[in-house]
Amino acid sequence: MGARRGRLIIVDDEPVILDLLTAVFDGDDTVEISCFSDGTTALAAIEQGVDVLLTDKNLPDVGGLQLAKRARELHPDVEIIVITGYASLDTALAAMELDVFDYIIKPPKDIRDVRRKVHQALDKQAMARENRSLMERLTERNAALEAALQELQELQAELIQSEKLAGIGTLAAGIAHEISSPLFGVMGLAEAILEEDDQQLVRGYASEIVDYSRSIKDIVIQLSGYSRTASSEYFTTVDLPSVIEDAVKLVARSLSFDPSRIELRAEPALYVNARTSEIQQVFVNLVKNAVEAVVDRHGAVLDDQPFPGLVEVSSGRRGDHVWATVRDNGSGIPADRLKAIFDPFYTTKPPGRGTGLGLNIVYRIVTKYRGQVSVESQDQQGTTFTLRFPVDDGEE
Ligand SMILES: Nc1ncnc2c1ncn2[C@@H]1O[C@H](COP(=O)(O)OP(=O)(O)OP(=O)(O)O)[C@@H](O)[C@H]1O
Ligand SMILES: [Mg+2]
C-alpha cells in the first residue's frame, strides 16, 4: 500500500462500531489511527492535525457535521467521510456543502469498504497536495521569471541609456576633433593680425578667419546631424583640387608646417558630388596624419637644412571614378595594425596628441558618399591612402 502515512481520526459514540472500524485497519501501517467516542475530545485531536476524518453524524455533544466543518476550517485539504444511520436528503445536502468525500451507512455491509474509502480519500488528498505543490512551484518559477524579465528590461534600458551617452561622447569627441584644426588656424591668424600693420595683409588674414569660422560652423552643423543619411539635396559639386589645397593650407597652419613642402598634383576639372566641408575634413585628416608621420620619422623641419620628409597629394579621374592619394614617406604602419586604424579611438599617438578619430571620420564620410578608402604601408618607409569616389555624369 505504499509508504504514505495519513492521519485518520475516527469518531463514533457507539463502542462496537468504533472497535469495528478500528479493526478494519489492523495491519495497515500506512494509516495512523486515533479513535474518539465524543466530539469534544475529537475536536482537540483534530486541532493537532488530521488527514482523513471518519465521523459519525450524530454525536451526543458536538455534531459530526460540525466537527467536519471545524476540521475543514483548520485543515482545508482534510478529507471527510460521514457515517450515518440512514442516508437522508439533509445529510446528503450538508455533505455536499462541506465537500464531504463520501459517507458510510451503518452498520456497514462490507467492512472492507470502509478501508477502501479511506484509502481513496488519501489518494485524492495526495493528488491534490501534489497539484498544489506543483502549482506553488510553478508560481514561484513564474515569479522568478518575471523578476528576471524585469531585471533584463531594466538592464536593457540602462544599456540603451549608456549607449546613447557613449554615442553623445563620440559625437562630442568627433566635433572637438574636427574643429580643432580650423580653430588652430583661426588662432594663428588672429595672433598674426595683432602684430601686423599692413592693412592689406590684415584684411587677407581676416578673410581667412571668416573662411575657417565658416568651416567650423559647417562641421558642427553637419556632425550634430550625423545620423541622418546623406541626402543629395545638400550636395554640391565639389572642386576637388581646390578643396585639397584649402585642406593642406589648414593643416600646415595648424601644425606650423611649411605648406610648400607638401606637393600637390591634380588633373584639371575634378568634381565630386558631396558637401564641401566633409571632403575638406577627409583631406585635413589624411594630410595631418601624413605630416605627423613624416615629422615622427624625420624629426622637425629645420629652416637651414634640407628636409627628407615628403607628403604628396595627387588626384585624377579614371573611368567612372575620381581618385585621390595622400602619400608620405613617414613612419609607416606595421602590417598587423592596418586593420585597426579605421576603428574609432585607435591611436598610437601619445595622450593629448591623438584621439584616434581622424581615420574613422574619413571612413564614415567617404563611405557615406559611396566612395572607398584603402591604405598601403611599409613600416618605416611610408604610407599611401587611396580614395575613390564614384562619378555620376548623368547627374552633373
Ligand atoms: N600616414 C600615416 N602614417 C603612419 N601611421 C598612420 C598614418 N595615418 C594613420 N596612422 C596610424 O593610424 C592611427 C589612427 O589614425 P587616426 O587619424 O584615426 O588617429 P590619430 O591620428 O592617432 O589621432 P587624431 O587623428 O584623432 O588626432 C594613428 O595613431 C597612426 O598610428
Ligand atoms: Mg589623425
pLDDT in tens, 160-208: 777 777 767 777 777 888 888 889 889 889 999 998 899 999 999 999 9
Comparison of pLDDT for 298 and 231, the residue scoring more: 298
Q: Which amino acid is at 5?
A: R
pLDDT in tens, 97-135: 778 898 888 777 888 889 999 999 999 999 999 999 999
Ligand 1 lined by 382 (C-beta under 6 Å)? no
> What is the predicted pLDDT for the residue at 47?
95
Q: Of 156-165, 255-264, 363-372, where does mean pLDDT reach its minimum? A: 156-165
CATH class of 229-395: alpha beta
pLDDT in tens, 35-74: 999 999 999 999 999 999 999 988 888 888 899 999 999 9
pLDDT in tens, 281-338: 999 999 999 999 999 998 877 777 777 889 999 999 999 999 999 999 999 999 999 9
Chain centroid to Cα 225, Å, comes to 24
Select, from the ranges 5-19, 235-249, 327-341, the one with the highest average predicted confidence (pLDDT): 327-341
- Ligand 1, residues 338, 341, 380: which to mutate, most atoms within 8 A of Cβ? 341
pLDDT category at 75 given cuts 50, 70, 90 is very high
Task: Tell me how far apart the alpha carbons of residues 180 and 200 are, in angstroms, rounded to a whole number.
Answer: 27
SS3 readout for 181-231: HHHHHHHHHHHHHHCCCCHHHHHHHHHHHHHHHHHHHHHHHHHHCCCCCCC
- Domain ranges for the chain, please list them: 6-109, 229-395
4 to each of 1, 48, 112, 361, how far by Cα in Å? 8, 19, 19, 75
Nearest Cα residue to atom 27 of ligand 1: 354
Ligand 1 lined by 329 (C-beta under 6 Å)? no
374 pLDDT above the threshold of 90: yes
Ligand 1 lined by 7 (C-beta under 6 Å)? no
**Ligand index nearest the alpha carbon of residue 353:** 1
> What is the predicted pLDDT for the residue at 184?
87
Domains 6-109 and 229-395 alike in fold: no
Task: Tell me how far apart the alpha carbons of residues 216 and 224 are, in angstroms, rounded to a whole number.
Answer: 12
**Ligand index nearest the alpha carbon of residue 352:** 1
Ligand 1 lined by 356 (C-beta under 6 Å)? yes
355 CA to centre of ligand 1 in angstroms = 9
Comparison of pLDDT for 287 and 223, the residue scoring more: 287
Ligand 1 lined by 330 (C-beta under 6 Å)? yes
pLDDT category at 7 given cuts 50, 70, 90 is very high
pLDDT category at 230 given cuts 50, 70, 90 is very low
Nearest Cα residue to atom 20 of ligand 1: 356
> What is the predicted pLDDT for the residue at 199?
92
Task: Tell me how far apart the alpha carbons of residues 82 and 74 are, in angstroms, rounded to a whole number.
Answer: 18
Ligand 1 lined by 280 (C-beta under 6 Å)? no
User: Domain 6-109, CATH 3.20.20.70 — does that match?
Assistant: no
Task: Tell me how far apart the alpha carbons of residues 341 and 332 are, in angstroms, rounded to a whole number.
Answer: 12
Q: What is the mean pLDDT of residues 215-232?
A: 64
Nearest Cα residue to atom 31 of ligand 1: 348
pLDDT in tens, 242-262: 999 999 988 988 888 888 889
**Ligand index nearest the alpha carbon of residue 333:** 1
> What is the predicted pLDDT for the residue at 87?
65
**pTM of the prediction?**
0.61
191 CA to centre of ligand 2 in angstroms = 25
290 CA to centre of ligand 2 in angstroms = 8
225 pLDDT above the threshold of 60: no
Share of the chain above pLDDT 90, in %: 52
300 CA to centre of ligand 2 in angstroms = 18
Please state, rounded to an integer, the average pLDDT across all residues of the chain.
87
- Ligand 1, residues 184, 289, 345: which to mutate, most atoms within 8 A of Cβ? 289
By C-alpha distance, which of 216, 273, 302, 284 is closest to 246? 284
* Phi-psi category of residue 62: left, alpha or beta, with phi > 0 → left and psi -120 to 50 → alpha: beta
> What is the predicted pLDDT for the residue at 105?
83
123 CA to centre of ligand 2 in angstroms = 80
Q: Which residue has the cell 558637401?
A: 275
pLDDT category at 393 given cuts 50, 70, 90 is low
pLDDT category at 396 given cuts 50, 70, 90 is very low
Query: What SS3 class is residue 361?
Result: helix
SS3 readout for 136-187: HHHHHHHHHHHHHHHHHHHHHHHHHHHHHHHHHHHHHHHHHHHHHHHHHHHH
> Which atom of ligand 1 has the smallest separation from the CA of 357?
26
H helices of the chain, where?
A: 15-24, 39-48, 64-74, 89-97, 111-194, 199-224, 240-255, 276-298, 358-368
Cα-based torsion angle of the residue sequence 64, 70, 76, 78 in order, rounded to the nearest 10 degrees? -30
392 pLDDT above the threshold of 80: no
Share of the chain above pLDDT 70, in %: 92
